[in-house]
Structure 1
Amino acid sequence: MFEQNTRSTYTPSLSLPYPKPRVVRPNQFYAILLLEDYAGAISELTAITQFIYHSFILNEYEDLHKLEKAVAIEEMHHLQLLGQTISLLGVDPKFRTLTDNIASYWKASYAYYGCGICDRISADIAAERSAISQYRYHLRLIEDPYIRQLLDRIILDEEEHLNLFQQMAAKYCHTIQS
C-alpha cells in the first residue's frame, strides 16, 4: 500500500528491491515483446500518462490525487528499467513498438482520459489488469532468467496498484465491480 509520510506524499510500501537490468544475451524478439510493455497501447508510458492526467483532474480528492501521482511515478521507474533492458537486448528503446520491423510510435490517445471520478478509477483498474495480463503473457514467451525476475517484480507492483485502485473504487464508487 501507499502510506502517507510527514511530507504529505505517498510512497510505495513494497520494499522489495528491483533486480538490476541484465540479460543473458542480446535478443531482438524479447526486446520487441518488452517494447509493448514499454510504449505500446498497454504500457508503462500509457499508464504514466493516464495516471498523471487523472491526478491533475482529480485533485479535489486528495487521497486519490496523491495515489494517482505516486503510482505514475512508480510506473516511471518501471519504464526506466524496461528501457535499460531493451537497450541491453540490442534494440534502441524509442517510444514505439515494432511489428515486422515497422515502427508504430506511442500515441497520447492510448491513455484513457475519462469523465468523472468513477469512470477514471474504473479505467485505472482496467489498465492495471491489462498490464498484469500482458506481463504474464510475456513471461510465458521469455526464457531469459534476468528478464523474468524483472517482470515478476514489476507484476508485484502492478498487483498492488490494482489493489489500491480497487480500494479507491470501494471508497468513492459503490457501483464499480472490482
Structure 2
Amino acid sequence: GAVELTLRRVQEVARGKPVWLTETSVPAAGKESFLSPEWQAEILARTVILALAYGIEHVFWHTLYDPPTAKGAERKQISAFATNSLYRKAARQAPLEIKPAGKTYRKLTQILKGIDWRDIRPIKVDRGIGVALGDGRWLVYSDSPTFRTAVPASQAQTLLDGREVAIRQRGGKIEVNGQRQALLLAGGS
C-alpha cells in the first residue's frame, strides 16, 4: 500500500541512516462503516510490523488520548483526529480509558521488550508481511484469511485479543487461518 511505498522510498533516500515513523495514527470512528476501535488496533499492529520489516527504529503514535466525548465537552480537534488515539476520556476530569489500540500497542511493546533490533528480519508471508524477532517468534499479517509462510511456528494468536488461531503444517510451510489479522507466531518443531 501507500505506507509501504513511502517507507521504501524513504529508506532509499536515507541510505543507511536511522528512520523514524512519527505522527502516525488512524481514526477509530468516522463516516466509513469499517472504522471501529478494533480496526484501529489492527491497523496499528500492521503499521508496527511493516515498520519493523523496513528497519524503522521508532514508531511514534500521534496522540495519547481522544478529546472528551461527554455532552458539553469542548471538541476543538479536526474530526479526523478526534478518535485516533490510544486512550479516550468521557469528560475532562474523567480517568483515561484504554482503547483496543492502546492494548495492542502495550502488547507490542511487551513482545518487543529485550529484542535485539539487529536480529529482526523480514520474512515472506503470502499476501502480507512479517518479521522474525530472532527469539523463535514472528509478527505477521496477511490480506488473505488463510496464508502460508515458511517459519517453524506451532502456535499463533491474534495481537488484538490474544485469541489462538489454527496452524497446520503443509509441504514444509505452515498454513495459518489468521482471518486477515495481525498475529504473533511462536514455538517450533
Q: TM-score, normalised by structure 2?
A: 0.28
Highest RCO, 1 vs 2 (Cα 8 Å, sep ≥ 6): 1
The structure where helix makes up a greater share of residues is: 1
The structure where strand makes up a greater share of residues is: 2
Q: TM-score, normalised by structure 1?
A: 0.29
Larger radius of gyration: 2
